[in-house]
Amino acid sequence: MPKLSQSQKIIKFLKDNPDKKFNARQIAEQIVATYPEDYAEKKLNPRFEDNKAFISQIVAEIGSQKELIIKNDSHIFWQDKPRPRIYWYSTEKTQENKEIIKEEIEGVEVDPAFSKSTFSEHDLYPVLITYLKSELKLYCQRIDEKRSKNSWGTGGNQWLHPDIVAMQTVDKEWNELIRNCVKQGTGQSVRLWSFEVKKELNSSNVRKSFFQTVSNSSWANESYLVATTISDANVEQELRMLSALHGVGIILLNVENPTESEMMLPSKARTEIDWQSVNRILVENPDFKDYIELVSTYYQTGRVRAKDWNKL
């Protein structure tokens, strides 16, 4: 029997409990308990300090998947107000139910810049940085490819530049003795992350977007393709296959509430940085050079100046 995606697990749980209302935390606890083997590997990620932190991540993922869930089963509804948001499977699929949901969510304020028909990829960069800073404690930098020298001529830098890069200070809470040992040995005091951002992943752009990310982000310890929506289940399945093959992770970005963004597929962490690829980007792009200079400063001093990072 094929493994269910997380959205399919949620749909099945709600369908098995018709007309009962659940918040995202209740759903998260139930699906993790029902499918423990599916979450075993993800649970081992060291960024989850305990089970509560892990469940909180699943809660955030459920929030960012709500549109996909409803698209896949029209009997499922969600209600935003009053908080917390609740979900249920309705045995009576009626227009009246849909109008109730519409009325309930009309009071939710959404930044006009993030109307799905008008926002650009550029608008998503500060949203992603907000999520990475608040939820993953990363120090981020924007890379503007327009500032590159383009010394390789037309097309020479295609798929070279990531949109966002970041530094994770692994040793931030370590004792100074441990830090010194790591400096003298081969351990890691920082991890480098790289991100490619798209508005939507659909059947016509999913492979191109994915391999663009492979090209411009595989130098890092952690590489991610980021999008606000995945058009359908077939595209999601394609992403799962490609991620398993190439190790690039997938993040679903929630533009209305960045903290509810979902790390849908964790990347396969690389133990070593590809410094040759890093040098290739650095020689071309001053933003990336500034980023590596800040990383180098942290390696040498163990200090981070907040004003140098996470500029929105």
pLDDT in tens, 18-56: 999 998 889 999 999 999 999 998 888 877 778 888 888
| 246 beta partners | none
Is the CA virtual torsion 211, 213, 216, 222 positive or negative?
Answer: negative
- Read off the pTM: 0.66
Q: What is the pLDDT of residues 213-248, one digit of tens each?
A: 999 999 999 999 999 988 888 898 999 999 999 999
Give the separation between CA 151 and CA 143, rounded to whole angstroms. Answer: 17
At residue 1, the pLDDT reads 62
Q: What is the pLDDT of residues 77-91, one digit of tens each?
A: 887 655 567 899 998
Residues in the chain: 312
More confident residue, 229 or 257: 229
pLDDT band at 260 (very low <50, low <70, confident <90, very high): confident
> Nearest-CA neighbor of 194 among 169, 225, 229?
225
